[in-house]
Amino acid sequence: MRLNQITVGATDFDASIAFYAKLGFRLIVSADRRYARFELPDGEATFSIHVQDAVPAGGPVIYLEVDDVDDTVRHLRSNGIVFDTAPANQSWRWREARLTDPAGNSLCIFKAGANRRYPPWRIS
């Protein structure tokens, strides 16, 4: 089993399309201004939005790993993306910056490297 697809709610179709395009996602499906699917810049997973009246608060956080958090944040800010938090080292050994999409979904741009799957506290 492998993770292939994540779908999040969207409250403004056009704003969400523009937001994810600025992140570097490539639009591959657009259906009736209610559903859109993207390919990510790296890997085979896809990501989609589905229009709904409201997105519940406290939903999942979408983690997007990059090679260099600071460079990625600088690039995305230059494209008009607003971050909720600046890049920072975390106690769990990841470097992260947080942002929110137009519907209120939480995203994290991060670099974990081997610590994502093999932290020192990993259960054997």
pLDDT tens-digit map of 83-124? 999 999 999 999 999 999 999 999 999 999 999 999 999 998
* Per-residue pLDDT at 3: 86
Residue 18 lies in a domain: yes
CB contact set of 39 (below 8 Å; sequence gap of 6+) = 25, 26, 28, 46
* Per-residue pLDDT at 112: 96
Residue 121 lies in a domain: no
Query: What is the tally of structural domains in the chain?
Result: 1
Residue-number span of the structural domain to which 39 is assigned: 5-116
* Per-residue pLDDT at 74: 98
Reported pTM: 0.92
pLDDT digits (tens, 9 = 90+) for 78-93: 999 999 999 999 999 9
Residue 122 lies in a domain: no
CATH number of the domain to which 80 belongs: 3.10.180.10
